[in-house]
Amino acid sequence: MRTHAFRLASLYFGVFAVSVLGVLLFVYWMSADFIERQTQATLDAEIAGLAEQYAQRGLSGLVQIVAARSAGDRGDGMLYLVTDADGHPLAGNITGWPEGTPVAPGPVAFKVQMKVQGETLKRPAQGALIVIPDGYRLLVARDINDAALYRERIKMTLMWSGLVALVVGLIGGTVMSRNLLRRVEQVNRTAERVMGGNLSDRVPLRGSRDEFDQLAANLNNMLEQIERLMAGMREVSDNIAHDLRTPLARLRARLELSLIDSPEDGAQTEAVRDAIDEADRLLATFNALLSIAEAESGARRSAAEPLDLAQTVCAAADLYEPVAEEKGCALKLDVEPGIMIRGDRHLLSQAVANLLDNALKYGGGEVLLSAHQQDGRAALEVSDTGPGIPEAEREAVFDRFVRLEPSRSTPGNGLGLSLVRAVARLHNATVALEDNQPGLRVRLEFAAL
């Protein structure tokens, strides 16, 4: 995601840079061309004027008008020179035939020596050479120093503004893509947290009513609906558990009473006993559902007290040790003594018992129960060396009634991990399912006291 956004930003910056450069080059080319044309137009007009004078009044007229125009600085930078066939000047404001200028009619470019405020300067000039009959030459040119300076200045201005545009573009692009990225990140992180089980999390809104805010608002509405549906589903199962518990208990009571009435053994008595066992299993499932609901509602937060996690863990291990032995599993303990946390001893015991139960039932091999304290966190881990859980299914096992075994033949109700998660939430603890290579490792992390 991050690299993709960066690539996108650089692509946009590239396009931006090319277009800015294009525009600047075009502006430069247009201005340079305009100056060039203006110079040329002035020259053409001047030449046309002189040609007219020559046609009307002959050479002497030409010399006269050139001399008149050369007298004094008119400020338009026009340069004139009329020479005889040998290059001796007859009139004009250039002192002599410019060095290195070929004697051929057509456009010429040369350097002219000028005295400006007592200093002799060589300035560029551009013009045309006209050879009049009898070998006389007329040089009409224009001092293009100012134009060249002007062009130079335009070039510099454009270069600087281009540079500024690129820098601003680069900074702006980076800031903007960062900004966009951050908002996408926010959405991303919220989605991750929601998938991690925190259903009440929402994407923060900026109140700017832009597309991102609209997206966030829509996502939030969607999350709202999901949460409501999930809560509804949970409520339904909890209500079923609650409402069916009483009639089921009555059913069981009547069966029990019928046994007291006729205690003699027989096929019928056996059937009644089986029915009672079945009712007990159902009641156990309902009770498990209700205790999860209770833990999730946070109603038992008041029962939290300082307790030693190590002791809780050891007691649960003690309870399950014979079960492990019976299943041929090695149950190992690696517990650091005296890990104080704040919690509900009964719920925590039940959570640890559920984890051990799962590890022994579905995992097997070597089951390790460990509890350690580090950096103000108390970590509890239950790991086995059994088949483990594929990564894609790790989140699902926390849901109610989810059992990964397709046949669902191992006894159990699929509520064990749901309770573990509810208990963890109640304690502000994190639950993670990790790969034990091989097997599964369940890790709970509490804030240590």
The residue range among 90-98, 217-225, 270-278, 328-336 that interacts with other proteins, by the rule CB under 8 A, is 270-278
Q: Are 370 and 381 in contact (CB under 8 A)?
A: yes
**Minimum gap (Å) between residue 260 Cβ and other proteins:** 4
318 binds other proteins (CB under 8 A): yes
349 binds other proteins (CB under 8 A): yes
**Minimum gap (Å) between residue 337 Cβ and other proteins:** 18
Q: What is the crossing angle of helices 145-195 and 211-261, to 10°? A: 10
Distances in whole angstroms, Cα of residue 216 to Cα of each of 178, 227, 228, 230: 18, 16, 18, 21
287 binds other proteins (CB under 8 A): yes
223-252 residues near other proteins, rule: CB under 8 A: 245-246, 248-250, 252
Cα separation, 137 vs 90, whole angstroms: 10
Order across the sheet with 78-83: list the strands: 89-92, 78-83, 137-143, 119-131, 106-116
357 binds other proteins (CB under 8 A): yes
Of 212 and 320, the one with the shorter C-beta distance to other proteins is: 320
302 binds other proteins (CB under 8 A): yes
Binding test (CB under 8 A) with other proteins, winner from 73, 99, 261, 264: 261
Binding test (CB under 8 A) with other proteins, winner from 168, 240, 299, 396: 299
353 binds other proteins (CB under 8 A): yes
412-441 residues near other proteins, rule: CB under 8 A: 412-413, 416
**Minimum gap (Å) between residue 250 Cβ and other proteins:** 6
Using alpha carbons only, how large is the chain's radius of gyration in Å?
A: 48
Structure tokens at 316: 């649960």
18 binds other proteins (CB under 8 A): no
**Minimum gap (Å) between residue 259 Cβ and other proteins:** 8
**Minimum gap (Å) between residue 178 Cβ and other proteins:** 50
Question: How many degrees, rounded to 5, is the angle at CA 388 between CA 387 and CA 390?
Answer: 115
- DSSP H/E element including 139: strand 137-143
Cα separation, 87 vs 136, whole angstroms: 8
346 binds other proteins (CB under 8 A): yes
Binding test (CB under 8 A) with other proteins, winner from 254, 334, 393, 401: 254
Binding test (CB under 8 A) with other proteins, winner from 185, 213, 256, 336: 256
Of 144 and 241, the one with the shorter C-beta distance to other proteins is: 241
Give 411-419 contacts, CB < 8 A, sequence gap 24+: 412/361, 413/284, 413/285, 413/288, 415/285, 415/288, 415/289, 415/292, 416/354, 416/355, 416/357, 416/358, 417/354, 417/358, 418/292, 419/288, 419/291, 419/292, 419/295, 419/350, 419/351, 419/354
Among all chains, which residue has been given the structure tokens 């056996």? 270
Q: Are 420 and 355 in contact (CB under 8 A)?
A: yes
In the complex, the residues that contact other proteins under the rule CB under 8 A are 245-246, 248-250, 252-254, 256-257, 259-261, 273, 276-277, 280, 283-284, 287-288, 290-291, 294, 299-300, 302-303, 315, 318-320, 322-323, 326, 344, 346, 349-350, 353-354, 357, 360-361, 411-413, 416
